[in-house]
Amino acid sequence: MEEDHQQKVILVTGASSGFGQAFVEKFAANGYKVYGTSRNACYTENDGVKMIPMDITDNDSITEAFNYILGESGSIDILVNNAGFGISGSIEDTSIEEAKALFDTNFFGTHRLCRAVIPFMRNQGQGHIINIGSLGGLVSIPFQAFYSASKSALASLSDGLSMELQPYSIKVTRIEPGDYKTGFTAARIMVEKSGHGSIYDVRCKRAISIMEHDEQNGADSKHLAAKVLEIAESSNPKLVYREGMFTQKFLIGLLNYLPDRFVQKILMNTYGI
């Protein structure tokens, strides 16, 4: 089995920290040939993970990274679209430029990577694209509505892509994690007009404080990495996996059967607004 892993080439975006770092470490420990990307990487290799530079908002950077991987390894068997970030603040306080920057990474970045990898996977007759979404894409989180919107859009993209690629033996899976303890919390960006002077300041800070508490008390990212490995090794993976603490997954499932206004009340109570 390990010999088969060594023949598999996996590319993980956003691999310098958080989920991405846990993913590349897990795959390398299980015999895969692993490439991770970040904007500031410089072609270093450590413990079986080769980090290479890639800016997923830049087509030329993506092309350069793909040429490097294919020149060295000849294939990309699994792509994990993990790179992304979050912004927080009210919709009114969020500028068009801030919203566009979020979507350029979280949504269009994934689209760019898919467009780049699909021709190679189709020519080699197989492949697997794993898109990392969020349970927050299933419900709109107050004061993180643009993050939720980007992950909701990613879910639609992923499902449509799965149907389009079925004739070419390319599998597409989306994973929707709940709260995990990662560096995502510290990396959260508040929109420029949030904070003191915003009419939403007090409610926004309260909601973000609750979110950050939940994240820092969430599951270990190593558990999600183990699940991603299991999905990558499955001959018939599901289209969607929802991962995280049982209470979050149960609540998400329950929301489908409740009136919309009642769902909003639950969310507002959850985040103290």
Catalytic residue among 147, 180, 241, 271: 147
H/E/C letters for each residue in the chain?
A: CHHHHHCCEEEECCCCCHHHHHHHHHHHHCCCEEEEEECCCCCEEECCEEEEECCCCCHHHHHHHHHHHHHHHCCCCEEEECCCCCEECCCCCCCHHHHHHHHHHHCHHHHHHHHHHHHHHHHHCCEEEEEECCHHHCCCCCCCHHHHHHHHHHHHHHHHHHHHHHHHCEEEEEEEECCEECCHHHHCEECCCCCCCCCCHHHHHHHHHHHHHHHHCCEEHHHHHHHHHHHHHCCCCCCEEEECCHHHHHHHHHHCCCCHHHHHHHHHHHCCC
147 is known as an active-site residue: yes
* Backbone torsion region of residue 32, taken as left when φ is above 0, otherwise alpha when ψ lies between -120 and 50, otherwise beta: beta
Nearest to 27 by CA among 103, 65, 79, 83: 79
How confident is the model at residue 245, as a pLDDT?
A: 82
What pTM, to 2 d.p., does this model score? 0.93
How confident is the model at residue 221, as a pLDDT?
A: 92
Residues of the chain with pLDDT under 70: 1-6
Total domains, the chain: 1
* C-beta separation of 181 from 245 below 8 A: no
Could you give the CA distance from residue 63 to residue 83 in angstroms, rounded to a whole number? 17
How confident is the model at residue 5, as a pLDDT?
A: 52
Its domain, for residue 238, covers 2-270
How confident is the model at residue 217, as a pLDDT?
A: 84
pLDDT (tens digit per residue) in 62-85: 999 999 999 999 999 999 999 999
CATH number (domain holding residue 54): 3.40.50.720
Could you give the CA distance from residue 168 to residue 118 in angstroms, rounded to a whole number? 10
How confident is the model at residue 182, as a pLDDT?
A: 82
Question: 152: how many CB neighbours lie within 10 A of its CB?
Answer: 18
How confident is the model at residue 147, as a pLDDT?
A: 96
How confident is the model at residue 7, as a pLDDT?
A: 75
